[in-house]
């Protein structure tokens, strides 16, 4: 199998590339290496496979001609489109760049695929941010976390789209383009509205990858700021489970094509971002972790929990990696690679 991964040197991309290389696949990593430390991930991948099965293209999804030519040379069976501008705050500061990377970049991926004599399948990493702030959803406060009053299984794909922030608009535009190329052109596209992904090789920063950021800051002794009161709840999906969702969709492509799937940790893997995460990290650190608090950030959802029922029903997929397994794993990876972060 031939797999083409945009953003393939990023956190999810390099884990996916490793997974496919381990199976003997031919993998093309397409990345501009603009995010800090992605070079480390690329070098790690290059140490795992010989050049006959791993190909690296240093280019940008905004460059349509370069992308189209790279896809034509790779002749992939599957494109997994992960390249993105990933932070709401960055999108607010520079909405044009956010649009060009996320919306135009996704359009370019689709057109590069459509230009092939046999278009490859396209998987798109969307986001739960396409559902907006969900201000109409009743939130119940608890001692350590917020909860939905009326959604015991979380939010499903029938939730109306409501793009907030330039980031929400650009990712949402990509989401809908990918979906529509299945309807209009008959392409085999699948949208994954992903929740909070975490795992090894995640170089989290304050604006994105919050669990990794907290762990990195704790291990390296850097200051931590909690925005809001720390009771915001997220469902955590380990990167291995996300890759498993992609596998299940590929293996069921005849039913998955043209579909949108929420993929998150679900109710079983929920945690509040500091009132419950903090004690876990303090136990791993063996000491208290000082933090400062600041105002809520615009568009921050008090709760997001993905209802994975559609993916379970249509793909036979469900998360397997628990927080008890996954959190110590990423802690240990950061501790073993602390030189990356100093």
139-174 confidence digits (pLDDT tens): 999 999 999 999 999 999 999 999 989 999 999 999
pLDDT for the residue numbered 89? 87
pLDDT for the residue numbered 19? 97
Give Rg (Cα) of the chain: 19
pLDDT beyond 90 at 3: yes
pLDDT beyond 80 at 50: no
pLDDT beyond 80 at 342: no
228-253 confidence digits (pLDDT tens): 999 999 999 999 999 999 999 999 99
The mean pLDDT of 273-292, rounded to a whole number, is 98
CB count in 10 Å sphere of residue 96:
9
The mean pLDDT of 130-146, rounded to a whole number, is 95
pLDDT beyond 80 at 180: yes
Query: Strand, coil or helix: what is 60?
Result: coil
**Pairwise pLDDT comparison (48 vs 255), residue with the higher score:** 255
pLDDT beyond 80 at 49: no
pLDDT beyond 90 at 273: yes
- The pTM for the full model equals 0.97
What residue ranges do the domains of the chain occupy?
2-341
Over pLDDT 90: what percentage of the chain?
A: 92
Q: Is 167 a catalytic residue?
A: yes
The mean pLDDT of 63-83, rounded to a whole number, is 98
pLDDT for the residue numbered 300? 82
pLDDT for the residue numbered 199? 98
pLDDT beyond 80 at 298: no
Q: Of 131, 167, 181, 198, which one is the catalytic site residue? A: 167
pLDDT beyond 80 at 137: yes
At the fourth CATH level, the homologous superfamily of domain 2-341 is NAD(P)-binding Rossmann-like Domain (3.40.50.720)
pLDDT for the residue numbered 341? 86
Among 46-60, 116-130, 207-221, 249-263, the least confident range: 46-60
pLDDT beyond 90 at 88: no
The mean pLDDT of 274-280, rounded to a whole number, is 98
pLDDT band at residue 47 using 50, 70 and 90 as cut-offs: very high
pLDDT beyond 90 at 308: yes
pLDDT beyond 80 at 44: yes
Mean of the per-residue pLDDT values of the chain: 96
pLDDT for the residue numbered 207? 84
């Amino acid at each position: 199998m031939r797999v083409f991964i945009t953003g393939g040197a990023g956190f999810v991309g390099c884990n996916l590339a490793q997974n496919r290389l381990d199976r003997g696949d031919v993998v093309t990593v397409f990345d501009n290496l603009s995010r800090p430390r992605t070079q480390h991930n690329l070098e790690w991948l290059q140490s795992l496979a010989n050049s006959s099965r791993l190909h690296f293209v240093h280019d940008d999804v905004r460059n349509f001609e370069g992308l189209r030519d790279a896809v034509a040379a790779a002749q992939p069976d599957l494109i997994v489109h992960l390249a993105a501008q990933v932070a709401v705050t960055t999108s607010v500061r520079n909405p044009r760049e956010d649009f060009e990377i996320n919306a135009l970049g996704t359009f370019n991926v689709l057109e590069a695929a459509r230009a092939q004599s046999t278009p490859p399948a396209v998987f798109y990493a969307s986001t739960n941010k396409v559902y907006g702030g969900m201000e109409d959803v009743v939130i119940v406060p608890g001692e350590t976390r917020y909860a939905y009053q009326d959604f015991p299984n979380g939010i499903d794909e029938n939730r109306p789209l409501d793009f907030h922030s330039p980031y929400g608009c650009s990712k949402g535009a990509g989401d809908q383009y990918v979906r529509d190329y299945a309807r209009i052109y008959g392409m085999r596209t699948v949208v994954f509205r992903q929740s909070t992904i975490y795992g090894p090789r995640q170089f989290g920063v304050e604006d994105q990858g919050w669990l990794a950021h907290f762990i990195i800051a704790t291990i390296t002794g850097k200051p931590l700021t909690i925005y809001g009161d720390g009771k915001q709840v997220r469902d955590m999906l380990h990167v291995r489970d996300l890759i498993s969702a992609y596998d299940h969709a590929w293996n069921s492509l005849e039913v998955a094509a043209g579909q949108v799937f929420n993929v998150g940790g679900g109710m079983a893997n929920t945690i509040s971002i500091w009132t419950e995460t903090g004690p876990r990290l303090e136990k791993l650190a063996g000491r208290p972790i000082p933090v400062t608090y600041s105002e809520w950030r615009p568009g921050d959802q008090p709760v997001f929990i993905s209802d994975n029922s559609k993916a379970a029903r249509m793909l036979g997929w469900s998360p397997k990696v628990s927080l008890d397994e996954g959190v110590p794993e990423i802690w240990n990876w950061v501790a073993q690679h602390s030189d990356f972060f100093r």
